[in-house]
Chain A
Amino acid sequence: METAEHGCENCGAVLPERFAEARMVTCAHCGSTSVLRDEVFRLAGEGGVIRDAPSLIRLDEEVQVQGQRLMPVGLAQFDYGRGWWDEFWCLDADAAGYWLSADEGDYALEQALPRADWPKRFRPKLGAEVEIGGTAFRVTEAETATCVAVRGAFPEVLEVGESHLYFDLTGPDGEIATHERWDGGEGWSIGRWIDPWEVGGT
Chain B
Amino acid sequence: MSTAQAVSFNCTQCGAGLDALGGGRVQTHVCPYCGAELDAQDGYKVLARFRDMERPETPFDIGMTGTLWDVPFTVIGTIGWVEYHAGRKWEWVDHQLFSPTHGYGWLTVEDGHVSYARKSRRVPSPAGVSDYLIETSENRPRVKLDGQSFVYYGSGVAKPFFIEGEFNYRPTLEDTVRYVSLAGDGAMLDIVEGGGEREYELVQLPDQAALLTSFGVPKGRWPKPRGVHPLEPLRRSPLQLFARNLFLGASALTFVLALILSTFGQTVGRSDEVSVWWGAKVPFEITQGNRLTEIEIWGNADNSWAWFEAELLDEEDEPVAVFERGIEYYTGSDWSEGSQRVRTRLRLPPGRYSLEVGMTEAEVDWTGGNKTSRMRVSVTEGVVSTFWLWWTAVLLGLAGAVFLAHRVYHYSRLMSGSDWSDD
Contacts and interface: CB of A to CB of B under 8 A. Distances in A.
B178 interface: no
A56 B123 contact: no
Given A53-B4, A82-B41, A104-B2, A173 B123 contact: yes
Q: How large is the interface on A (under 10, 10 to 19, 20 to 34, 35 or more residues)?
A: 20 to 34
B63 interface: no
B101 A105 contact: yes
Q: How large is the interface on B (under 10, 10 to 19, 20 to 34, 35 or more residues)?
A: 20 to 34
Contact of B23 (A102, A104, A174): A104
B392 interface: no
A7 interface: no
Contacts of A118: none
A173 B122 contact: yes
Interface string B236-262: 000000000000000000000000000
Interface in B114-131: 118, 120-123
Interface of B is mostly: loop
Residue of A53, A102, A105 contacting most chain B CB atoms (<10 Å): A105
Interface in B178-224: none
Nearest to B127: A172
B4 A82 contact: no
Contacts of B101: 54-56, 105, 196
Interface in B1-32: 1-4, 23-25
B352 interface: no
A116 B339 CA distance: 79
Interface string A83-102: 11110000000000000001
A54 B123 CA distance: 29
Nearest to B40: A82
A131 interface: no
Interface of B: 1-4, 23-25, 40-41, 72, 98-104, 118, 120-123
Given A54-B100, A82-B2, A102-B1, 15 more contacts: A53-B1, A53-B2, A54-B101, A55-B100, A82-B40, A83-B24, A84-B2, A85-B1, A103-B24, A104-B2, A105-B99, A170-B121, A173-B123, A174-B123, A193-B121
Interface of A: 51-56, 80, 82-86, 102-106, 170, 172-174, 193, 195-197
